[in-house]
Amino acid sequence: MIRLHDVSLCLGNASRTSAVQFHLPAFEVAAGETVVLTGPSGCGKSTLLNLVASLRRADAGEVTVANVDLATLSPAQLDRHRGTHCGMVFQTFHLLAPFTAIENVTIGLRFGARKRDNTRRRADEVLRRVGLGDRLHARPHQLSVGERQRVAIARAIAGGAPILLADEPTGSLDPDTGREIFTLLQEVATEDGRTLLMVTHDPALAAELPRRLDCTGLIRSTIIAGGRDANA
Amino acid sequence: MSFLAMAWRYLKFRRLVTFLTVVGIALGVALVCAVLALRHESERALSREAGLYDLVVGGKGSPLQLVLASVYHLDSPTGNLPYTDYGKLRRDPRVLWAAPMGLGDNYAGYRIVGTEAHFFDLPDRNGKPFFRLARGHIFEDRFEVVLGSHVAAASGLDIGDTFFGTHGLVDVPGGEVHRDFPYEVSGVLAPTSTAQDRAIFGTLASVWEIHETEDRLHSAIQGTALLSDEEEREVTSILARLKTPGLRLWMADEIRKRSDCIAAIPINEILRFQRGVIGPVQRALLAVAAAVVLVACLTVLTTLHQAAERRRRDVAILRSLGALRSEVAALVFTEGVLLTGAGIAFGLLLGHGGLALASSPIRDATGLVLHPWHMPKAEGIALGVMALCGAAASLFPAISSYRRTPIDDLHLTD
């Protein structure tokens, strides 16, 4: 389902003498598999997720998602590929404040669904599935943080995306709520046969999943030979 | 959910800023609409009325003043001229229609115009009668009068009612009321949408009788000679329609060569007045209005830019959901178009509504009857230009949203 091979990416503005470089020799995830990404802050976990989500393009190497080499897609095709194949869940929920829970999910479907029929009914279904049947018309500020993350999960799964990318989904939640959200993500991935890539700092949660990728060292500073200082 | 619905929700979400921006645009648009509509309507009304008469003949003085006093019932008349001059003019084979006017009194501020019955035979430029009676009949006896439609409506006078005239052309407290000479209403004219609706028409004989009696009284007190005979009677002015407008300049020149009176061509005087006096004021007002619209467009630009800046995170979220660059740009642009459209719609309503409210006081003060809801062509063009400015102002934040990379903005918090 996901394959990265010898992927490198220059992050930030490279100076004449050094660059911050992401490099991943090889990484593959099968369809329906759940992988947790661990490692210290700034090690490259989120960058890996963003590469899979095509929010970043690799400078070199191959990124294949859902059997499509992302390097071959135009920017517009990348946007549509992301919308139809990747459902994203963020640490800070990223709900749209002017809209209700059901509208947030509907908007997600508008841009990301493989089929755009009956979006309202589909949004209603998934919100009920994540336990928010009685909060359909609440705005984000009227929801608890746990409920907000449930709306975000509903939005991520509503369109039928086969890949779920969760970037520290429990990072803003208390331990109990975090546990609920973690369980919910696992459930929707397992029941629907979706591939789940989840970033977490919580070693206890990470330990519960069968496959972990330690991302330590994916990002490192590189001295550029031939820079002005090197020549001095 | 459509772009329109999404854009509307975003505008509703920051309703105060939206309201203030719409008000800013609406004020500018209202000012432009009001100035353009007022210009068009005043030109139309002034020209229509001035075009009814080819010549106005009066005593020496300002031609414009003569026209304003004789055609629009504004301003003081110039000096009188002999009644015999009217006879000569009427007999001139080049004259289609001519009527004398004798002014001197008013009723509640409405001028009492002494004239002759054939005054109401004046044809409009299509050859149809310009005056029509709504009810009653044209004056037959000396002290019968016909009311203009506005006078009848404003004063409540109707057929058979009587009233007294007051000396002078304007209603001033303590004015001399001619209590020995009651007027009786014999007819009411249908509306003409001109200053004639604000006049009272009586016989020239009644004007002479009232004022000659007073002069006789003054002469008796002072021991001077009695009043002149009919040969020496005077009129305030003469209105004339010629057989063809091409004769205007020729006849006006001919009359001017006589030393004791002037002849004004109303349409020329009014056009000169519009270009010389009203035009610069209207141009200044238009410049102010254009500046207001420009500021309003800049407000749209600033508002949308700030909204787009505040919404960088939302745009990034939409992109992460699969929205194309062009789609988020279209969303931001739709917001701008909605803002501009609402501003223009409210401005249009405000401008013409204001004109509708002002039309009654304008009619009372000047006799000009405006059609406040009529939209002149220039206004349509101005609105189009303003809509384009609003669209152009909306393009900048839309382009800015188009260019942004979502990954840069996803880390932003609410």
Q: Which of A95, A107, A112 sits opposite B1 (nearest CB)?
A: A107
Per-residue confidence band for B367, with pLDDT thresholds at 50, 70 and 90: low
pTM of this prediction?
0.73
Do A91 and A172 form a contact (C-beta atoms < 8 A)? yes
Total domains in the fold of chain A: 1
Q: Which of A46, A96, A122 to mutate to test the interface with B (most CBs of B within 10 A)?
A: A96
Q: List helix spans (H) across A67-195.
A: 75-85, 101-112, 119-129, 145-158, 175-192
What distance in Å separates the CA atoms of residue B82 and residue B381, rounded to the nearest whole number? Answer: 51
Q: Taking CB atoms and an 8 Å limit, are B313 and A94 in contact across chains? A: yes
Q: Taking CB atoms and an 8 Å limit, are B413 and A92 in contact across chains? A: yes
Q: Taking CB atoms and an 8 Å limit, are B324 and A103 in contact across chains? A: no
Residue B98's alpha-carbon distances to B44, B222, B232, in angstroms, are: 24, 38, 20
Residue type, B344: I
**Interhelix angle B3-13/B15-50, nearest 10 degrees:** 100
Residue type, A77: Q
Q: Which of B10, B12, B321 sits opposite A111 (nearest CB)?
A: B321
Q: Taking CB atoms and an 8 Å limit, are A76 and B321 in contact across chains? A: no
3-state percent helix, strand, coil for chain A, nearest multiple of 5: 40, 25, 35
* Structural domain that includes position A145: 2-231
Q: And the tokens for B313? A: 């995170």
Whether residue B42 has pLDDT greater than 80: no
Higher pLDDT, B291 or B221: B291
What's the pLDDT at B254?
87
Whether residue B94 has pLDDT greater than 80: yes
Over residues B291-315, the mean pLDDT reads 78
pLDDT tens profile A97-113? 999 999 999 999 988 76
**What is the DSSP track for B329-363?**
HHHHHHHHHHHHHHHHHHHHHHHHHHHHHHHHHHH
Per-residue confidence band for A230, with pLDDT thresholds at 50, 70 and 90: very low
Cβ neighbours of B327 in A, within 8 Å: 111
Over residues A136-150, the mean pLDDT reads 94
Q: Taking CB atoms and an 8 Å limit, are A107 and B413 in contact across chains? A: no
Over residues B273-294, the mean pLDDT reads 79
pLDDT tens profile A18-48? 778 899 999 999 999 999 999 988 888 989 9
Interface pTM (ipTM) of the complex? 0.89
What distance in Å separates the CA atoms of residue A10 and residue A22, rounded to the nearest whole number? Answer: 6
Cβ neighbours of A83 in B, within 8 Å: 321-323
Q: Which of A9, A84, A94 to mutate to test the interface with B (most CBs of B within 10 A)?
A: A94
B310 touches chain A (CB under 8 A): no
Per-residue confidence band for B227, with pLDDT thresholds at 50, 70 and 90: very low
CATH number at residue A136: 3.40.50.300
Whether residue B311 has pLDDT greater than 50: yes
B5 touches chain A (CB under 8 A): no
What distance in Å separates the CA atoms of residue B325 and residue A109, rounded to the nearest whole number? Answer: 17
Q: Which of B314, B407, B414 sits opposite A55 (nearest CB)?
A: B407
Q: Taking CB atoms and an 8 Å limit, are A111 and B10 in contact across chains? A: no
